Amino acid sequence: KNEVEQSPQNLTAQEGEFITINCSYSVGISALHWLQQHPGGGIVSLFMLSSGKKKHGRLIATINIQEKHSSLHITASHPRDSAVYICAAPGTLYGGATNKLIFGTGTLLAVQP
Amino acid sequence: ETGVTQSPTHLIKTRGQQVTLRCSSQSGHNTVSWYQQALGQGPQFIFQYYREEENGRGNFPPRFSGLQFPNYSSELNVNALELDDSALYLCASSLGASGANVLTFGAGSRLTVL
């Protein structure tokens, strides 16, 4: 079982729809990262959060520490939002240190016009 | 303020060869982490360098090695290349080695091993 799991793996939406991507983790974490990766590889950091909620434009990220769950929401989705969205958390997978990121497998989002 | 720059962007090698990938960290960042991303997979942590010292390593063999220089740029070296080493290699810099630091990623170096 992966220590960081995402759902859904694939998501197709119509332009304008509200989108939710979920992330569950089994490690104790100091912060959770949401990242965006476009075809071709480049990764952009969207959010890093350790409690509550953060908002940037049409993107909202929430985290529930007790439930070990985080969500990324996209309001009024647009075709340019199409990308892979990845959550990542520092974990003890590599023994001892908790400063190494463990990545979820990603959610491939396609927003159709 | 410059971001993270990786070079080369693409390269092709044959089995048994050696490769060096380079990463220039964002201005002001002192930590560089390297990740391997196979096609269709999430990134896997290779190792991290903090203030020129290795600061943790993932489940990769010793033929994966690295360096960090006084200006905090970094190199990833892979010896005796194998076909399975074909992947996108990403570096990310941050201010501090904690997992609670914002990361800035480079665009990656895509390695193909034939």
Q: What is the pLDDT of residues A41-65, one digit of tens each?
A: 789 999 999 889 999 999 999 999 8
* Average pLDDT of span A85-97: 69
Amino acid A96: pLDDT: 45
Amino acid A99: pLDDT: 61
Q: Provide the number of CB pairs (under 8 Å) joining chain A to chain B.
A: 75
Q: Reply yes or no on whether the pLDDT at A1 is more than 70.
A: no
Over residues B34-81, the pLDDT tens digits come to: 999 998 888 999 999 998 998 888 889 999 999 999 999 999 999 999
Residue A38, amino acid: H
Residue B61, amino acid: P
Query: Which residues in chain A touch residue B109, judged by CB atoms under 8 angstroms apart?
Result: none
Cα A69 to Cα A29, A60, A85, B80: the distances in Å are: 11, 14, 15, 41
CB contact under 8 A, B105 and A29: no
* Average pLDDT of span B100-107: 87
| Mean pLDDT value across chain A | 88
Q: Name A47's Cβ contacts closer than 8 Å, sequence gap at least 6.
A: A33, A34, A54, A56, A59, A61, A72
Low-confidence winner among A78-92, A96-110, B87-101 (lowest mean pLDDT): A96-110
CB contact under 8 A, A43 and B92: yes
Query: Which residues in chain A touch residue B110, judged by CB atoms under 8 angstroms apart?
Result: 41
B56/B36 Cα distance (integer angstroms) = 15
Query: Which residues in chain A touch residue B100, judged by CB atoms under 8 angstroms apart?
Result: 30-31, 48, 50, 90
- Pick the residue of B4, B10, B54, B88 with the most A CBs within 10 A to test the interface with A by mutation: B88
- For B83, the token pair is 């076909």
Q: Please tell me which residue of chain A has the smallest CA distance to B93.
A: A45
* Average pLDDT of span A84-105: 73
Q: Reply yes or no on whether the pLDDT at B114 is more than 90.
A: yes
Question: Distance between the two ends of chain B, CA-based, in angstroms?
Answer: 38
Q: Name B3's Cβ contacts closer than 8 Å, sequence gap at least 6.
A: B26, B104, B106
* Average pLDDT of span A79-83: 96
**Which of B41, B97, B110 minimises the CB distance to A41?**
B110
Secondary structure element (H or E) that encloses residue B67, with its range: strand B64-68
What is the per-residue burial (b if ≥16 Cβ within 10 Å, else e) of A4-34?
bebeeeebebeeeeebebebbbeeebebbbb
Amino acid B42: pLDDT: 87
Q: Are A21 and A85 in contact (CB under 8 A)?
A: yes
Task: Give the largest Cα separation in chain A, rounded.
Answer: 47
Secondary structure element (H or E) that encloses residue A69, with its range: strand A69-74
Cα B58 to Cα A63, B64, B113: the distances in Å are: 27, 10, 21
Q: Reply yes or no on whether the pLDDT at A93 is more than 60.
A: no
User: Which one has a higher pLDDT value, A54 or A93?
Assistant: A54
| Mean pLDDT value across chain B | 92
* Average pLDDT of span B75-94: 96
| Cα of B34 to nearest chain A Cα, Å | 10
- Residue A107 confidence class, pLDDT cut points 50, 70, 90: very high
Residue B1, amino acid: E
Query: Which residues in chain A touch residue B42, judged by CB atoms under 8 angstroms apart?
Result: 86, 103-106
